Amino acid sequence: MLEFALEKGNRNAGGFHALHCAARRGDLDAVRLLTSKGYDVNIPDGDGYTPLMLAAREGRGSMCELLISCGADCDIKNARGETALSLARKSGGIRNDAECVILDELARKLVLGGAHVQKHTKGGKGTPHWKEIRMVGAAGVLRWGKSSCRNVICREAEVGPSSAFRRSRQRKGDGNEPGVFRVVTTKNKEVHFVCEGGLEAAELWVRGIKLVTREAIFGEKQRHEC
């Protein structure tokens, strides 16, 4: 059926979804051909699965990478509440390339798009305030304002507070909030932020900051180590 669809260009004949089948099987050449012919990478099949969801469910990292490069949306959710990420996590395995690829895309999208987070001042001794932060992709800069001190290159990024920050916030009792993450700049300045969404969101911020920083340095798309 896949070969027939490729030959005839019949997209969904008799309920058969050629792009979905190729994605599930891991046929990279077929997916390249189908997408070049205009097949929509975000159309669900009869069961509500997009090609990316099917590739993720099979743990096919290279296929997920290809589909994402063709515009596949990682945020699509079907009627069962499943996403490409949740399906990748169900596929199991010690090293799950599909999960890594999808997490990278979600993290990259988050940090490049930016969001409002709480920024702590004076190493946690000051009053936190809301700032919109984002990564500037080509420069590899984390930005939360116009001045040079608010446009920094991160040497490190980690989930959770430093011990010094934790001590500073001890009286407030918020030093271990689930959404805390921190960066250390190339000028050795440590900055703490608190994002909405708890630990998982903080992990995405850290992942995205590291990815975009490396991509700016090396000049090509990087993959985070899982």
| pLDDT tens per residue, range 141-195 | 999 999 988 999 999 999 999 999 999 998 888 888 899 999 999 999 999 999 9
* Residue 31 included in any domain: yes
Full residue range of the structural domain in which residue 80 is found: 2-110
Residues 6+ apart with CB under 8 A from 16: 1, 5
Boundary residue ending a domain (83, 110, 137):
110
How far apart CA 53 and CA 25 sit, in angstroms, is 12
How far apart CA 99 and CA 162 sit, in angstroms, is 28
Summarize pLDDT for 93-115 with one digit per residue, the tens. 656 799 999 999 999 999 999 99
* Residue 17 included in any domain: yes
Using a cut of 0.85, tell me whether the model's pTM lies above it.
yes
Please count the structural domains in the chain. Answer: 2
The verdict on 211 and 128 lying in the same domain is: yes
